[in-house]
Structure 1
Amino acid sequence: MNEITTNRNQSSTRCCKLTGAGRSAIAVVMIEGPEATTLLHRCFRTQHTRPITIGEVRYGTWSKTDQAAGESVVLVPLRHDGDGDRFEIHSHGGAAAAQRILDDLQSFGAVLVDPSELQTLDFRPSDDSQEDEDLLVAEALTVLPKCVTTKTAAIVLDQIRGAFCNWRDTQLQRLSDAASDETNADELYRTIVDQARLVVDAGTVGVRLTRPFDVVLCGPPNVGKSSLINALVGYDRSITMDVAGTTRDVLDAETVFNGWPIRLRDTAGLHRAANEIERLGIERALDAVRQADLLIVVSQPGTPRPGELFDQAIDQLATIPPIIRVLNKADLIADQTEAEITDPKPIETIAPEGLGVDDLIQTVLDHLTGALTAPGTPVPLNTRQRDWIRYVAAAGDFQQLRQRLTMSQSPSFS
């Protein structure tokens, strides 16, 4: 293995392995510099002849010769500008695959460097913001390996590539340009504060990208909570019987809805228990309710809402999670009067037939992830970042806003 070069020409094309030592599912090699595209095309072979553009992911093979056989790789272009192109090459996670790519790149003139020398090259510092940007990248790099889906990882990668820092720098430039025009300055102040508030809201998702959302199904006994869990995950996770009290404990089922990790929790029916086993199951159900990110309150035609036990658990919470009401066994509605159907209208489901399940999944995602904006936008990944953007959003005037946008490294937020 070639020794990493530390003394090099700053204009040289550089490469490194970003993933850690040892085997993994995927290895990531980075190449950056003025000759990156030229060196890349000497080894990367793809069936498509069209140019590779930023934002595109291209599958191909890696081979130093013209032979058809080669290492299967995925190419991710990250940058194309006057400072040189930049690419990620994703290969099999074994040590040999990544080393082959690095060896080939070096044989064509790329310089092997330590990953720390490349991690911040995407950023364009404004004023004295380089330390802020380095910190944000370092924090994002601690989150990325813990993401379990491509959707959550993509949000972190956006921040590594500069979404948060670029947003801050853009707003500072806009404020500088508008400083001499009071009318436009006031309007711009309001616009930026509104944007900052949206970033704060996005942080409710960003701060927990590394673990699934807890979605708890609760309600009276025998309304079909277990059948609904099975319909949501697509297999028989919970035992179902037409007997009240079948579920005696909290049963978990981890799944993914449209790229988002979700932990569904099936709980015992909430009622005054007749025996000790049921009572313990209900206590655990109430504990799950108190810890939930979202509650799905299930009933069926002719049954009451959860009642006193549920209300008491909710009353103990400092922050009440979103609540979705579901009327399961909706095929029985024909036997009920309009007055017996609750308002606002719940989502109607028939769990064994899958009816209404897609609507329920979409409603769950709307509640849990609706605060996120478009890809490539800033998302706080921890409480420090969220506290800073909340501080920015609370600025009282134009000058205070400008001051707070430059204070991300103040002692209060470090």
Structure 2
Amino acid sequence: MSTIYAEATPPGRGGISVVRLSGPEARLIGEALAGPLPEARRAELRSLRDGELIDRGLVIRFDQGSSFTGEEVVEFQIHGAPVVVRRLEAALRRHGARMAEPGEFTRRGLMSGAIALSEVEALSDLLSAESEAQRQQAMRVMSGELVRWTESLRERLVRAGALIEVSVDFADEEVPEDVPAEVFDLLKGVRGDILAALAGYPAAERIRTGFEVAIVGPPNAGKSSLLNRIARRELALVSDVAGTTRDVIELHTDLGGLAVTFLDTAGLRKTQDHVEFLGVERALDRARNADLRIHLSEDGQPVQDLLRHDDLVLRTKADLGGDGISAVSGTGIPKMLEEIKDRLSQRVAGAGVITRRRQAECLESAAEALDMGSDLHPELLAETVRHTSQRLTEVVGRIAVDDYLDEIFSRFCIGK
């Protein structure tokens, strides 16, 4: 296994730059540049030399098994000038390290068992988070909440599996008479918890991927003007000429902590213009698949073919008189945005920590396996429990060893 390095801070000028070194030779290379390294997890000021003084900065080391990668790691915190970073990296290469590939630090952490696959996925979500809800969701998984939850289910499965093994292999020994009942109580409880987690998956997925809100209506209804008002800049071209908007224009924003993409769509009308016709078709397609639609028109009438029960139907150009909203004066727009936020917030109220289809499919398989009758043969039941336990390890990306026998000896006094 080679020793790798990478700059952990964004390239360019800054107050400091952080360069990390990970692998079997990390400590030796660190000592070659900085002399004797400080105690693990202790930062100390060092002069970094490679035939000449490179810089003075803080040096921190992490022992194998106690770092993000699971390997020996040395971290250099140096002055944030690109030339200093380049000089340090050249010294690291001269001593045998190589530049890390994209994501290689995280990949090594996964392969060493320092982090679970679900935590890798959450880290990816955190790095791409655009809203507070996405940040909070990613941090819940990264902090180990999903791992702890699956482990708590597996502990109950281990108990159930141990009781089944006892009933099969040690039937003549003194074991509790209510073993079968306890087994099925445990399995029923595990299945119930899995189904509850699956029920919260759609909401959690919407938080992770974000919502889409389509602005629909006839030409010149004020759709582009509304998008510009929400964006607080000229994002979409506004014109009195009908059919100006041909393609879907997107505005990514944070609405009350939720990631929301507003879609400005082409005016919906019959047209002989081929390009405009394609724009209308694309608008209809995006609007149908959106999470919510804002129906705009001067007379307050919705687009019937697109209307859903949770949509907003609004009269536009209220600055010319009457009720509704106005993209010119801003009348009614704060209330509209608050209503959208409330409706979307209701949809994510039951979100859990199952955020990806891969995780949900593993749980679905586990729940299906546990949907069995109480007359199942003990050996088949034991196999079902083992299968379910394995599927739970796959949720977080870990496959654990068979620990049923240890559970048996810890809970029962057998063979004396």
> TM range, normalised to the smaller chain?
0.5 to 0.7
Match of 2:304 in 1: 307
Match of 1:362 in 2: 341
Normalising by structure 2, we get a TM-score of: 0.55
**Residues 284 and 39 (structure 1), Cα distance of their counterparts in 2 relative to 1, 3 Å cut:** closer
CA deviation vs aligned residue, 1:100-147 (integer Å, no higher than 9, x gap): 69999xxxxxxx9983554456659xxxxxxxx4x5566667x56972
Match of 2:391 in 1: 407
What's the CA shift for 1:303? 3.2
Alignment match of 2:358 (pick from 384, 387, 400): 384
**Residues 387 and 365 (structure 1), Cα distance of their counterparts in 2 relative to 1, 3 Å cut:** same
Task: Look up the SS of the partner of 1:407 in the other structure.
Answer: helix
Task: Look up the SS of the partner of 2:334 in the other structure.
Answer: coil
Match of 2:154 in 1: 172
1:265 aligns with 2:263: yes
What's the CA shift for 1:162? 4.3
Task: Look up the SS of the partner of 1:268 in the other structure.
Answer: coil
**What one-letter code is carried by the residue in structure 2 that aligns with 1:174?**
R
Normalising by structure 1, we get a TM-score of: 0.55
Match of 1:314 in 2: none
Gaps of 5+ in 1: 6-14, 44-62, 105-111, 125-132, 312-319, 337-347
**What one-letter code is carried by the residue in structure 2 that aligns with 1:299?**
L
Match of 1:197 in 2: 199
Alignment match of 1:351 (pick from 323, 327, 341): 327
**Residues 139 and 351 (structure 1), Cα distance of their counterparts in 2 relative to 1, 3 Å cut:** same
CA-based RMSD of the aligned residues comes to 5.7
Match of 2:311 in 1: 324
What's the CA shift for 1:325? 1.4
Matches of 1:403 and 1:71 in 2, distance apart? 52
Alignment match of 1:250 (pick from 247, 250, 253): 247
Task: Look up the SS of the partner of 2:360 in the other structure.
Answer: helix
**Residues 365 and 284 (structure 1), Cα distance of their counterparts in 2 relative to 1, 3 Å cut:** same
Matches of 1:220 and 1:294 in 2, distance apart? 20
**What one-letter code is carried by the residue in structure 1 that aligns with 2:361?**
D
Matches of 2:139 and 2:83 in 1, distance apart? 23
Alignment of 1:119-134 (within 5 A): 119=110, 123=114, 133=116
Give the number of equivalent residue pairs.
325
Gaps of 5+ in 2: 24-36, 49-54, 93-98, 164-178, 375-380, 399-416
Percent identity over the alignment is: 17
**Residues 220 and 295 (structure 1), Cα distance of their counterparts in 2 relative to 1, 3 Å cut:** farther
Task: Look up the SS of the partner of 1:296 in the other structure.
Answer: strand
Alignment match of 1:293 (pick from 273, 290, 304): 290
What's the CA shift for 1:249? 0.9
Task: Look up the SS of the partner of 2:249 in the other structure.
Answer: strand
Alignment of 1:51-200 (within 5 A): 84=66, 96-97=84-85, 115=105, 116-119=107-110, 123=114, 133=116, 136=118, 143=124, 147=128, 149=130, 152=134, 155=137, 159=141, 162-177=144-159, 180=179, 181=182, 185=186, 186-199=188-201
2:207–2:258 Cα contact (<8 Å) kept: no
**Residues 36 and 205 (structure 1), Cα distance of their counterparts in 2 relative to 1, 3 Å cut:** farther
2:203–2:347 Cα contact (<8 Å) kept: no
Matches of 1:164 and 1:98 in 2, distance apart? 40
What's the CA shift for 1:378? 4.3
Matches of 2:259 and 2:156 in 1, distance apart? 37
Matches of 1:357 and 1:103 in 2, distance apart? 58
What's the CA shift for 1:168? 1.7
1:217–1:296 Cα contact (<8 Å) kept: yes
Match of 1:396 in 2: 371
**What one-letter code is carried by the residue in structure 2 that aligns with 1:327?**
L
Match of 1:42 in 2: 44
Match of 1:232 in 2: 230
Matches of 2:350 and 2:296 in 1, distance apart? 28
**What one-letter code is carried by the residue in structure 2 that aligns with 1:198?**
G
**What one-letter code is carried by the residue in structure 2 that aligns with 1:355?**
P
**Residues 200 and 368 (structure 1), Cα distance of their counterparts in 2 relative to 1, 3 Å cut:** closer
Matches of 1:371 and 1:274 in 2, distance apart? 47
1:326–1:349 Cα contact (<8 Å) kept: no
**What one-letter code is carried by the residue in structure 1 that aligns with 2:365?**
Y
1:17–1:30 Cα contact (<8 Å) kept: yes
1:216–1:267 Cα contact (<8 Å) kept: yes
**Residues 227 and 215 (structure 1), Cα distance of their counterparts in 2 relative to 1, 3 Å cut:** same
What's the CA shift for 1:257? 0.9
